Amino acid sequence: MSVSKVLVANRGEIALRVIRSLKEMGIRSAAIYSEADTSCLHKKLADEVHLIGPSPAAKSYLNAAAIVALAQEIGADAIHPGYGFLAENAEFAEMCTQAGVAFIGPTPENMRLAGDKLAARQTVEDAGVPVVPGSDRGLLSLDDAIEACGAIGYPLMLKASAGGGGRGMRILYEEQDLKEEFVMAAAEARAAFGDPTLYVEKYILHPRHIEVQILSDGQGNAVHLFERNCSVQRRHQKLIEEAPSPDLDPQVRHAIHASAVKIAQAIEYQNAGTVEFLLDGDNQFYFMELNARIQVEHPVTEMITGHDLIKAQLSIAMGQGIGFEQDAIHQHGHAIECRINAEDPEMGFVPSPGLVEHYRAPGGFGVRFDTLLYSGYEIPIYYDSLLGKLIAWGPSRLDAIGTMDRALKELHIAPLKTTTPFLLNVIRHDDFINGTYDLDLVSSILGAMDDEEDDL
């Protein structure tokens, strides 16, 4: 399939990221923007721009019918959804295909399986990949949940079957926790995903979150691009990612890579995706979920492999295959990504939108900053608080940490409050420097900060 124009159905730094790869490939880019994004940077860099609707996302970036109609009107051959918004919406992907517009991403079947956590668990288990012990059916009533939890044993993690991102997720240490949380978790799942179905998994103490980047052509050809450690999280939202994962047993590393490829082949996965695992203290890994899209943290993989994942997505969508074999993928050095958000860590990470009066980007060897920022830009209140992704590369992990420390100090965004000071605190923590941290790191740091305030 020949592609000469792609409509980028997103905003912010990921829209810019896609537009830049399209330009390098000689493909014309069409950007969409909402009324709140009239001064956005992706609008300034695209070959052509189109107002898609009012400021609220539901009336603009989530308006699937309007986006597909626009693609047809302007003669776009394909749509790239980026991440978030409609990126994992199977109905949107089907609408694109029915309109004769290629969808640059996984198939609707891939998305539906990935979105149905229970079905994905069963499929992965059938493929011989270990899953976290948990309920084998959806839980729609408290009585069902009490029975399932009693059979598995506490502590447990309550989750939404139809989605992720921490919505509907609760830690249960005893039956009373379940009784208090079940109704609220189901309501949260219904509001976020239109489906109140919950399920439970054994809660793994002090786990690490390890994910594997995959590319697959849907014809049985799949490769991995090594793993990322995404264990620096707050409320199930990632703050820092790095590749490769530190302090990982070589045999476990190889087994996780092989399992990710096996899953991609088993479901005939197409395009870019990420297979996420939990690793316990005994080096046993368990499948957690499949993200059927390009990930926010994909740049760290690009930095250590030298492969442009957006271009690979386009190659697969155009029927040209992945573009390289497994033995052509090599790992060089170490990369760390910090998500810079417009939030005030000293005020409980409340959003901090507003006018960017002063902006200085970090630079120098080994530094990459994927961002929507420029001086004079007004951060809108309608969308998430991500301002950019700061990536540091070095020949060793300690080199990458040193470069990130310098880059974070060099970054200047005023007068907005950002997460930069908190991220500096994290990368200077002994557990992070030693590479021995797990998902409890951020809560431990925040707890220590609270204790210090109480002592004042």
Residue type, 75: G
DSSP letter, residue 352: -
In our burial notation (b when 16+ CB lie closer than 10 A, e otherwise), range 236-245 reads eebbbbbbbb
pLDDT digits (tens, 9 = 90+) for 331-387: 999 999 999 999 999 999 999 999 999 999 999 999 999 999 999 999 999 999 999
pLDDT digits (tens, 9 = 90+) for 143-167: 999 999 999 999 999 999 887 767 7
pLDDT for the residue numbered 452:
63
In a domain, 56, yes or no: yes
Distance CA 105, CA 47 (A): 22
Angle (CA) 244-300-354 rounded to 5° is: 135
* Residue 236 shares a structural domain with residue 311: yes
Distance CA 121, CA 117 (A): 6
* Residue 253 shares a structural domain with residue 297: yes
Name the nearest CA neighbour of 211 among 270, 290, 280. Answer: 290
Q: Where does a domain end: 142, 171, 202? A: 202
Q: 């994905």: which residue's tokens?
A: 120
In a domain, 124, yes or no: no
In a domain, 115, yes or no: no
Query: What is the domain-level CATH number for residue 151?
Result: 3.30.1490.20
Distance CA 396, CA 400 (A): 6
Phi, then psi, of 32 in degrees rounded to 5 = -115, 155
Name the nearest CA neighbour of 43 among 70, 77, 8. Answer: 8
Low-confidence ranges of the chain (pLDDT < 50): none
Global pTM? 0.92
Structure tokens at 250: 């070589």
pLDDT for the residue numbered 139:
94
* Residue 309 shares a structural domain with residue 364: yes
Residue 111: exposure state from Cβ atoms within 10 A (0-12, 13-18, ≥19): buried
* Residue 246 shares a structural domain with residue 394: yes
Which of 28, 293, 339, 397 is flagged as catalytic?
Answer: 293
Q: Which 3 state secondary structure label does DSSP give 322?
A: coil
User: Dihedral (C-alpha) 233, 237, 239, 240: value to the nearest 10 degrees?
Assistant: 70
Q: Where does a domain end: 104, 124, 145? A: 104
Residue type, 273: G
* Residue 191 shares a structural domain with residue 269: no
Distance CA 431, CA 5 (A): 47
Element (H, E) at 323: none
Q: Where does a domain end: 202, 220, 251? A: 202
Q: Which 3 state secondary structure label does DSSP give 399?
A: helix
In a domain, 119, yes or no: no
Asked if 170 is an active-site residue, the reply is no
* Residue 332 shares a structural domain with residue 186: no
* Residue 390 shares a structural domain with residue 282: yes
In a domain, 276, yes or no: yes
Q: Which 3 state secondary structure label does DSSP give 265?
A: helix
In our burial notation (b when 16+ CB lie closer than 10 A, e otherwise), range 78-110 reads bbbbbbbbbbbbbebbbbbeeeebbbbbbbbbb
Domain range for 152: 133-202
pLDDT for the residue numbered 162:
83
* Residue 213 shares a structural domain with residue 195: no
Query: What is the domain-level CATH number for residue 12?
Result: 3.40.50.20
Total domains present in the chain: 3
In a domain, 10, yes or no: yes
pLDDT for the residue numbered 99:
97
* Residue 282 shares a structural domain with residue 392: yes
Distance CA 67, CA 50 (A): 10
In a domain, 125, yes or no: no
Distance CA 13, CA 180 (A): 39
* Residue 237 shares a structural domain with residue 339: yes
Distance CA 1, CA 72 (A): 17
Question: Strands 367-371 and 386-394, how do they pair?
Answer: antiparallel
* Residue 445 shares a structural domain with residue 358: yes
Query: What is the domain-level CATH number for residue 449?
Result: 3.30.470.20
In a domain, 113, yes or no: no
Give the contacts of 254 (CB within 8 A, at least 6 positions apart).
none
* Residue 212 shares a structural domain with residue 196: no
